Structure 1
Amino acid sequence: MEDPEKQPGSSVSSLSSDATPDVLKIPPPPDGGTLAWLHVFFGHMVFFNTIGVTNSYGVFQQYYTETLGHSPSTVGWIGGIQMFLIFFGGVFSGRATDAGYFRHCFVTGVVFQAICYGLGCGLLFTPGLSVTSSYFLKRRTLAIGIVAAGAATGGMVYPAVANALLYHSTVGFPWTMRVMGLIMLITHIPSIIGYRPYVPPRSTGPLVEWAAFRETPFVAFIASMSLCFWGLYMAFFYLGTFARGTIHLADSLNLVIVLNGVGVIGRMVPNILAQRFTGITNMNIFCNIICAICIYFWMAVDSSSGLYVWSVAYGLFAGAAQALFPTMATRQTTDMSKMGTRTGMIFTIISFFCLTAPAIEGALIQVDGGDYMGAQLFAGIAVVLGTGCLMLNRWARVGWRIAKI
C-alpha cells in the first residue's frame, strides 16, 4: 500500500505549505535515543496521572452514588468536569508550550493537582503530549502508544488504591485523596526534573489558528474525536454501577481493573501494527467500528462471566481508539512549531463533549428507571457517527483508494 505521507502531492504534505521560515531551522526529531525514550516515560506518567485517574472514576461514581444518595446523572457531572478540565485547558497550555512556557505550565500543573485536580491536569496533558511527540517522527505512533498506555496503568493502580481505602473504617475519603495525591507527586518527580521541550519557542502567533478550520481533514478529525469520545468513555464511568445494579455483581472493582488492564495491550499493539502495516487512520477506523459493535453487544450481556468477556474485548479496542486519537491529534500539522497550538485547539473542542457525556448517559439511565439500554444506544450511535467522520477525514486526504494512512 502507498504511504501518502511520502507523496508530495498528498494533502498531508500540503499541510506544510504554511510552515514559517523558523521551522526550517529546527533539526529533525531524534526519533530515538536515551533522551527521546526518557520523554516517552515522562509522557506515560502524565497519562498515568490524568486520564488514568479519570478512567478509574467508575469506583468513585459508585461510591458517590451510594454515599451521597444522588442520581447517576448528578454524580456523572463530577467525572465529566474532570474530563472537561483535562482537555479544555489545552488551547491555553498548548499555545504557552509553543511560546516557550512549557516548564511553567508543567510545574504549576503538578502543584495544582493537589489543590484543584482538573485545572492541574489541564496544564499537564496537552503540553506533555506535544513535547513528547516533538521528539519523534517515524516512530511517533509507537511512542504515543506507549505514552497513552499510562492511562491503562493508572486506570489499574488508582481504582485499586481507591477501593482499598475508601471503604476502610480508619481511612475514608479524605485520606484516600491524600494517598492518591502522594502517588501523583512521587511519580511526577522524574518529569519535573527531566522534561524539556525539543522544539525552540515560537514567540509570535495567535492563540487559535483559525485557518486550520478551513482544512476539511482537520475539521473532520475534530468531529470524529468529539463524537467518539462522547460514547467511548461510558463503560469507564458506568461499568461498575451496571455490574452491581443489573448483573448483581457484589465486587465490581475487578471489572474496572480488567477494562483498564487489557488497555495496556490495546494502547500499544494497534499503534505498532498501524505504524508498520495499516496506517494510523485505517487502524483507528477499524478499532472504532469494533467499539461500536461491542457497545451494542453490551445490551445483551446478562451474566458476570459474559460481562468479564465483554470487558476484555471492549477494553482492548477502546484502549486502542483512545491511544490512536491523540496520536492522530499530533499529526494534524507538519509544522512542529504549531503542534502545541493545534493539539490544544482539538482537545479544547472535545472537552465539551467529555463534559456532557457522563451526565447525558446518567440522565438516560435515570429516565429508564435504572435500565442502561438508552445510554448504551446513545454511546453506540455517537461512536458510529464519529467513525463516519473519521472516514470523511480519510477521504479528504487520499480519497477511497487503498493507502497506508
Structure 2
Amino acid sequence: MSIEPIPLETATSRLQEDHAILHAADLESRTKEREPSVVEEQQQQQDAGFVEGSVRGWCAVAGAFLILLCTFGYANSFGVYQSYYQLNQYRHLSASTISWIGSTSLGIEFCFAFVSGPLFDRGYFRPLLITGSVGFVVCLFMTSLCTQYWQTFLAQAVGMGASMGLMFMPAISVLNHYFLARRSFVMGVAMSGASIGGIIFPIMLNHLFASIGFAAGVRASGYVVIAGFVAANILTTARYPPVKRDEQGMKRRRPSPVKLLKEPRYALSVIGTTAVVLGAFFPISYIQVFAEAAQLPRNVSDNVLSILNASSFFGRLGLTYAADSLGTFTVLATCTGGISVLIFALYGATSPAGVIIFAILFGFFTGSFFALLSPLLISTADDISEIGMRQGLALLLNGLAALVCSPIAGALLAAGHDDFKYAIAFAGAVTAFGAVTMLGARHFQARQLGTWRV
C-alpha cells in the first residue's frame, strides 16, 4: 500500500496553523497566570461599552459631596467648639485636654476606614451609609446634652468619629463604579464638600451659639446635617455587586495586609502618605496660634484658618483635574514636595501678608493631597475587589498619624518655650521624607504599568 507524499505547500500551511494554535494557547495560559490590574479592567470595561458618568454617576458625586460636607466639613468646625468649651463648661480643663476631642474624632474617622473598606468590598455599601448617618446624628444631638468631659468625649470624639469613618470610605469608593477617565477629578469634586462645610459650619455655629445658646445651636445644626444625609442616601447608589468569585468560579480570596505591604509601590505609598499626614496637620491645627504668637492683627489671626479651608476647595478641583492627564502619582508627589517647602517657609512668615500667602498656598496643596489620596491608592489595586482593603489599611495608618500629630506638635512647642522652631523643623522634615518616599512609589508604579503617566 503506497503512501502519497504531501505537497510541500500543504505541509507548510499545516505547520503554520499548528504554530498559530500553539501560540494562542500559550498566550491564553500567560493571561490566566496574571490577574488584570485595575487599569486593565477599566480598559476592558470601556471596550465592553462602559458608560462614563451617567445621571446615576453624577448623583453619586452629589451624594458623596453632601456626606463629606456634613462629616469632614462639620469636623473642621471643631475650633468653634474648642473656643466655647474653653470659655464655658470646661474652662477648668487645659486647651490641650479639650483638643483631644477633635484630634481623636479625626483619628478614629481615618482608622475606621480599615473596617468600612473591606465591608464595602463585600457589598455592604447601603448598610454602612445608613448606620453611619444615624450614628452621627444621634451622637451630635447627644453632644448638646453633655455636661461632663467624658460624656462629650464619648459622643463627639468616639461616636461621631466612628460614624464618619463608616460613611467616608463607601461614599468615595463607589465613585469608581461610574468614573474611570475622570476619576481623580470627580473624587476631588466630592472632597470639596469638606472645604465648603469647613466654611459654612463655623460661621453657622458661631452665630447659633451667640443667638440661641449652645444646646439649641448644636441641635439646629443637627437638623441641617439630617437634611444632608437624607439627600445623600437617596442620591448615592452602588452600580456593581461585589465580585465574590473569579472567572473559574472559585471563591475570590482577598489579599492580607501583610501581602499588600510587600508590594513596593503600595508600601511606599502608605509610608509616604502617613509621613505627610504626620507633618501636614501641624499647620492646620496651629496656624491660628502661630499668627497670634507673631502678634499679627486680630482680623488676620481669626480668619487665617478660614482662608486655608477656602483655598483647599480650589486645590481639590484644580490639581485633581490635572491628575487625570498627568497621573495621580506625579501630581500627588508634587503636592507633597510643595507642602514640605511651605512648612519650612513658616520660619520667615511673620508678617500678615506672609501668613496669608502661606495659608492660601498650603490650603491649595493640602486640599489636593487629601483629594488625590483615594485615587492614588485605588490605582495600585490589581483587582477591583481590593479597593476597599487597600484604602482602609492606608487610612488606618494615616489616622494614627493624624491622632498623634497635634500632641507631638504641642510637646515640641513646650520644649521650645512656645517657640515654633522645633515644631516647624519636625513637620518639615517628616513631610520632606514623605515627598521622597512618594517619588519612590511613583517609580515602582511606572515600572509596573510600563508608562510614565502614573
> What is the TM-score with the length of structure 1 in the denominator?
0.87
Are residues 1:80 and 2:128 paired?
A: no
The yes-or-no answer on 1:264 pairing with 2:285 is no
Distance 2:83 2:197 in 1: 18
1: CA distance between counterparts of 2:133 and 2:348? 42
Match of 2:75 among 54, 60, 66: 54
Change (3 A) 1:112 1:131: same
- The corresponding residue for 1:160 is 203
Using the TM superposition, name which of 59-68 and 226-235 deviates more: 59-68
Asked if the contact 1:113/1:181 (under 8 Å) is kept, the reply is: no
Q: Provide the residue aligned with 2:330 in structure 1.
A: 282
Question: Aligned pair 1:134/2:177, yes or no?
Answer: yes
Shift in alpha-carbon separation, 1:37–1:398, aligned structure 2, 3 A: same
Q: What's the CA shift for 1:206?
A: 5.2
**Structure 1 residue 30: Cα displacement:** 3.0
* Offset at residue 293 of structure 1 (A): 1.1
Matches within 5 A, 1:118-133: 118-133=161-176
Distance 1:370 1:70 in 2: 19
Moved more, 199-208 or 100-109: 199-208
Residue in 2 aligned with 1:304?
352
Pick the aligned partner of 2:116 from 66, 72, 93: 93
**Identical residues among aligned pairs (%):** 25
Partner of 1:39: 60
CA RMSD of aligned residues (A): 2.7
Change in Cα spacing, 1:214 to 1:119, as seen in structure 2 (3 Å) is same
Instruction: After TM superposition, give the deviation of residue 70 of structure 1 in Å.
Output: 4.4
**C-alpha displacement at 1:267, in angstroms?**
0.6
Shift of 1:173: 3.2
Which amino acid in the other structure matches residue 40 of structure 1?
Answer: V
Q: 1:17 to 1:149 in 2, by over 3 A?
A: closer
1:343 aligned partner = 391
Say if 2:403 is the partner of 1:355. yes
What are the superposed Cα offsets for residues 319-356 of structure 1, whole Å, 9 maximum, x if unpaired?
A: 11121222212222142222122211221222111111
Q: Distance in 1 between matches of 2:171 and 2:308?
A: 25
Q: Hey, what does 1:6 align to over in structure 2?
A: none
2:61–2:236 CA contact under 8 A, matched in 1: no
How has the CA–CA distance of structure 1 residues 303 and 62 changed in structure 2, closer, same or farther, with 3 Å as cutoff?
farther
User: Are the counterparts in 2 of residues 48 and 154 from structure 1 also a CA contact under 8 Å?
Assistant: yes
Residue in 1 that maps onto 2:413: 365
Q: CA deviation at 1:113?
A: 0.8
Pair 1:183-2:204 in alignment:
no
8 Å CA contact 1:72–1:365 kept in 2: the answer is no
- Quote the Cα distance in structure 1 between the aligned partners of 2:430 and 2:204: 32
Distance, in Å, in 2 between the alignment partners of 1:207 and 1:175 is 48
Change (3 A) 1:335 1:151: same
1:230 aligned partner, one-letter code: L
Q: Secondary structure at the match of 1:233?
A: helix
Letter in 2 for 1:16: P
Task: Normalising by structure 2, report the TM-score.
Answer: 0.78
* Larger mean Cα displacement after TM superposition, 226-235 or 118-127: 226-235
Aligned to 1:374: 422
For 1:8-27, list aligned pairs within 5 A: 16=36
Offset at 1:78?
2.0
Partner of 2:145: none
Q: In 2, Cα distance between the equivalents of 1:28 and 1:333?
A: 22
Is 2:54–2:178's contact at 8 Å kept on the other side of the alignment?
Answer: no
Equivalent residue of 2:110, what SS? helix
1:147 aligns with 2:170: no
Amino acid at match of 1:162: L
Structure 1 unaligned segments of length 5 or more: list them. 1-13
After superposition, give the CA deviation of every residue in 1:273-329 in whole Å (9 maximum; x if it has no partner). 1212x2111111111111111111122222223222221121111211121222212
**Aligned pair partner of 2:286 in 238, 247, 266:** 238
CA contact (8 A) 1:57 1:237 kept: no
Structure 2: distance between partners of 1:92 and 1:312: 34
Aligned to 1:149, the other structure's residue is in SS state helix
SS state at 2:241 partner: coil
Larger Rg computed on CA atoms: 2
Query: Unpaired runs of 5+ in structure 2?
Result: 1-33, 140-158, 245-251
Cα separation, partners in 2 of 1:112 and 1:130, compared to 1, 3 Å: same
Q: Distance in 2 between matches of 1:145 and 1:97?
A: 20
State how far apart, in whole Å, the 1-side matches of 2:94 and 2:430 are: 23
User: 1:66-115 deviations in whole A, cap 9, x for unaligned?
Assistant: 55354454333222211111111112111111212111111110111121
Corresponding position of 2:6: none
User: C-alpha displacement at 1:179, in angstroms?
Assistant: 2.8
Provide the C-alpha distance between the structure 1 equivalents of 2:296 and 2:183, rounded to a whole number of angstroms.
43
Change (3 A) 1:281 1:264: same
**d(CA) in 2 for partners of 1:182 and 1:90?**
26
